Homo-oligomer: A and B are copies of this chain.
């Protein structure tokens, strides 16, 4: 298969020039000039290989090779075109340019597909300019509502709807797409599993569910010298016991459970005062909702018991509860078979991060392919994947799209 190393390197370099930064990273926020330039340049490039191109109302960009036999059965691939602030060259856009190379190759080699091949460059996924995520994919399925965005603003006070209008788009609640028969998204792993296991491709079976919490422990601030240990209600000590015991439990449960205490803010946070209060966060993820539910219920009960034993108050606020999203079993199986047949270096895995595919998967048969992230780094100018691994990932995508669009 002639998915060429140089072509892949060139197209990644080209797409990341839109919003490219001196440090090698990319900033391309929704409805910014860099964003519009990227979408228009992609549209031109799609047109140049013979695709029929169009934008929907909110700025998702599409390019189609119509099917000869099943025109209304769409095989879709792509990802999001926006990046985080000071992001990398791959998160999102790899799924667009990878699908572009795959579809260009298939059209050139095999001509018109039986089913329609459609490339999508989604407007937004990251939530980095406005406090709203999955704007692109939600609009594919009519899941976004005017009310969701009409009052939200970016950091500079610019209104969402005004920003959209400035790029020539206008929001009407869109009709959900009903013609998509399969969606396959190529993405970087954003973790270190493939690299550690020296695999080039991950076939994703599900996206983890997650619960996130803000938790406040309230004890009593006291002088660090004059307050005997027995008189203390030390919020950092209580936190340390909760964190230590909970993570030990998570490790005992085993993969794919992950538990993170990412933020810790004691008060008053000075060397010579026993901390009277701690605000901390907890993030728990797993591919099985039952495990998430039972594990977090156990930890919540533990935290209450520990606070009680130590004479502290505790406020537990669960502010996120996203269910796991399984990928389509049949589609995933097909990807696995294609990788095996082509002797690609792959493994089956789950995704610990969220992706556009989680909006597609409950509605249409969906699958994901990962390529390794060097040192697991993403959302950072240092986000990298070896070009030979990018080539392998695009090959796997090409085989899959061939099966879906060219085979009965």
Task: Report which A residues bind B (CB closer than 8 A).
Answer: 189-193, 196, 208, 210, 212, 222-231, 234, 236-237, 239-244, 247, 250-251, 255-266, 269-275, 281, 283, 285, 351-354, 376, 378
Q: Are B229 and A251 in contact (CB under 8 A)?
A: yes
Provide the residues of chain B in CB contact with A264, threshold 8 Å. Answer: 236, 264, 266, 269, 275
Shortest Cβ distance from A284 into B: residue: B224
Provide the residues of chain B in CB contact with A257, threshold 8 Å. Answer: 229
Shortest Cβ distance from A378 into B: residue: B223
- Excluding A229-B258, A240-B241, A260-B274, 16 further A-B contacts by CB distance (< 8 Å) are A190-B223, A193-B226, A212-B271, A212-B272, A222-B376, A225-B283, A228-B258, A234-B260, A236-B243, A236-B261, A236-B264, A237-B244, A241-B244, A261-B275, A262-B273, A264-B264
Whole-angstrom CA separation of A265 from B265 in the bound complex: 7
The 18 sampled A-B contact pairs (Cβ below 8 Å) are A189-B226, A190-B223, A193-B231, A222-B376, A227-B352, A228-B258, A230-B255, A234-B247, A234-B260, A236-B261, A237-B261, A240-B241, A240-B244, A260-B272, A261-B275, A264-B266, A264-B269, A272-B283
Known: A250-B229, A269-B263, A274-B260. A283 touches B352 (CB 8 A): no
Q: Are A191 and B227 in contact (CB under 8 A)?
A: yes
Provide the residues of chain B in CB contact with A229, threshold 8 Å. Answer: 247, 250-251, 255, 257-259
Report the copy number of this chain in the oligomer: 2
Q: Are A281 and B271 in contact (CB under 8 A)?
A: yes
Q: Of A189, A236, A247, which is in contact with the most chain B CB atoms at under 10 Å from its CB?
A: A236
Provide the residues of chain B in CB contact with A234, threshold 8 Å. Answer: 247, 260
Q: Specify the main secondary structure of chain A where it touches its partner.
A: mixed
Q: Are A236 and B262 in contact (CB under 8 A)?
A: yes
Shortest Cβ distance from A258 into B: residue: B229
Shortest Cβ distance from A227 into B: residue: B191
Whole-angstrom CA separation of A258 from B378 in the bound complex: 43
Whole-angstrom CA separation of A175 from B251 in the bound complex: 65
Pick the contact of A262: B208, B224, B259, B378 (CB < 8 A): B224
Pick the contact of A352: B226, B266, B351 (CB < 8 A): B226
10 smallest beta-carbon distances between A and B, as pairs: A191-B226, A225-B352, A240-B243, A226-B352, A224-B260, A240-B240, A271-B281, A240-B244, A225-B353, A262-B271
Q: Are A228 and B193 in contact (CB under 8 A)?
A: yes
Chain B nearest CB from A121 CB (Å) reads 24
Provide the residues of chain B in CB contact with A273, threshold 8 Å. Answer: 260, 262
Provide the residues of chain B in CB contact with A250, threshold 8 Å. Answer: 229
